[in-house]
């Protein structure tokens, strides 16, 4: 069993990394708030990164809408917003280094074939010599992570078959895969704390393994419960979650804080968003967030 060592060096650097495939919804606001409060409570930096690597799914203007919504809720980032779609040279450079080390290989297996064989890729093409052109590229998994500790969810176990799976780092259509670029960008931005939704718990094991593969210190991870409309159905752009009304942010802000274990006093609930955030910073406690993967959406009080 491998349990990666976590970086504790340097000042706190956190980030919020939305996908601009639609406007910011309530579930993402909860995650953004947790990330922001955790960083600012430690006098750290809070960055925003647009994870727009899957360009066919991106919605024109969604990035601007997300940024304006964050500002309306008093969530101001500390450094320039970066876009993954502008960083292909960086990703290709790392892929070239992995290729020189014989750590990636072309794969011809389709999603349908993998699903038919049980849903997990069996590393079938690792020993074969398929051409790179027109095929996906997979990383040889030499650092499987079977268990890790999350700052909210506690001990997280990963199935052995998933931990040992060689996963895609460059897709058949030529786009770089999320599992690769998220780690490379966290390294480039010196991110050492990641607070995000529990729907990303499973990919975390792969990402921890990649930090080891690249010989880089891994961040601390904390996964907040995902907001769901019913069990297993999270608020998401794919499920057509409504955009947040940013014209009067106070009620939505108070409701979002409630999911993080913070009940805003009525006497300040109608103050400026910045005033409410200042109160939240004084009372926020990461350990008070429920250690569950989901929380049911309820009516705003």
What is the structure's pLDDT at 289? 94
Q: Is 73 annotated as a binding residue?
A: no
Q: CATH number for the 13-103+171-295 domain, one of 3.90.79.10, 3.40.50.2000, 3.40.50.300, 3.40.50.620? A: 3.40.50.620
In angstroms, the CA 131 to CA 41 distance is 50
Write down the pLDDT at residue 117: 82
- The torsion defined by the Cα of 62, 16, 32 and 292, in degrees rounded to 10, comes to 120
Q: Is 121 annotated as a binding residue?
A: yes
Determine contact, residues 26/235, Cβ cutoff 8 Å.
yes
CA distances from 80 to 15, 50, 127, 164, 220 (A): 12, 11, 43, 36, 23
Q: Is 16 annotated as a binding residue?
A: yes
Q: Rounded to whole angstroms, how far apart are CA atoms 4 and 208?
A: 7
Q: Does 148 count as an annotated binding residue?
A: no
Rg (CA), the chain: 20
* Full pLDDT tens readout for the chain, 301 residues: 333 344 444 699 999 999 999 999 899 999 999 999 999 999 999 999 999 999 999 999 999 999 999 999 999 999 999 999 999 999 999 999 999 999 999 999 999 999 888 888 999 999 999 998 899 999 999 999 999 999 999 999 999 988 999 999 999 999 999 999 999 999 999 999 999 999 999 999 999 999 999 999 999 999 999 988 765 555 555 554 567 888 899 999 999 999 999 999 999 999 999 999 999 999 999 999 999 998 888 743 3
**Which residues is 107 bridged to in the sheet?**
136
Is the whole-model pTM more than 0.85? yes
Question: Does residue 115 have a known ligand-binding role?
Answer: no
pLDDT score at 7: 42
Residue-level pLDDT at 120: 87
178 is in an annotated binding site: yes
301: helix, strand or coil: coil
* Confidence (pLDDT) at 3: 35
The reply to whether 196 sits in an annotated binding site is yes
Q: Which two tokens stand for residue 22?
A: 């639609």
Q: Is 15 annotated as a binding residue?
A: yes
- Tell whether 138 is in a known binding site: no
Q: Is position 109 annotated in a ligand binding site?
A: yes
The beta-strand segments (E) located in the chain are 13-16, 45-50, 82-83, 104-107, 136-139, 147-150, 154-157, 168-170, 193-197, 220-224, 226-230, 233-234, 294-296
Alpha-carbon distances of 222 from 24, 32, 107, 151, 192, rounded to whole Å: 21, 12, 33, 5, 11
Q: What φ, ψ does residue 180 adopt, rounded to 5°?
A: -80, -55
């Amino acid at each position: 069993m491998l349990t990666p060592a976590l970086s504790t060096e340097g000042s706190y650097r956190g980030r919020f990394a939305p996908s601009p495939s639609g406007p910011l919804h309530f579930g993402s606001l909860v995650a953004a708030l947790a990330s922001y409060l955790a960083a600012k409570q430690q006098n750290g930096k809070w960055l925003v990164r647009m994870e727009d690597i899957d360009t066919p799914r991106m919605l024109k203007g969604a990035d601007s809408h997300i940024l304006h919504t964050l500002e309306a809720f008093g969530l101001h980032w500390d450094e320039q917003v970066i876009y993954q779609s502008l960083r292909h040279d960086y990703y290709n450079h790392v892929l070239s280094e992995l290729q020189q080390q014989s750590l990636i290989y072309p794969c011809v297996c389709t999603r349908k074939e993998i699903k038919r064989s049980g849903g997990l890729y069996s590393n079938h093409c690792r020993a074969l010599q398929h051409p790179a052109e027109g095929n996906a590229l997979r990383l040889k998994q030499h650092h499987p992570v079977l268990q890790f500790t999350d700052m909210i969810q506690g001990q997280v176990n990963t199935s052995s078959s998933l931990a040992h799976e060689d996963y895609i780092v460059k897709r058949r259509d030529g786009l770089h895969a999320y599992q690769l670029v998220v780690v490379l960008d966290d390294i480039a931005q010196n991110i050492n704390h990641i607070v995000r939704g529990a729907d990303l718990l499973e990919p975390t094991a792969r990402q921890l393994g990649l930090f080891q593969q690249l010989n880089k210190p891994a961040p601390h991870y904390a996964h907040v419960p995902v907001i769901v409309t019913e069990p297993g159905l999270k608020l998401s752009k794919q499920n057509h979650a409504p955009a947040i009304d940013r014209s009067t942010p106070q009620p939505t802000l108070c409701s979002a804080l409630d999911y993080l274990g913070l009940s805003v006093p009525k006497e300040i609930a109608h103050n400026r968003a910045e005033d409410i955030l200042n109160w939240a910073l004084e009372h926020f406690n990461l350990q008070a967030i429920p250690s569950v993967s989901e929380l049911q959406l309820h009516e705003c009080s």
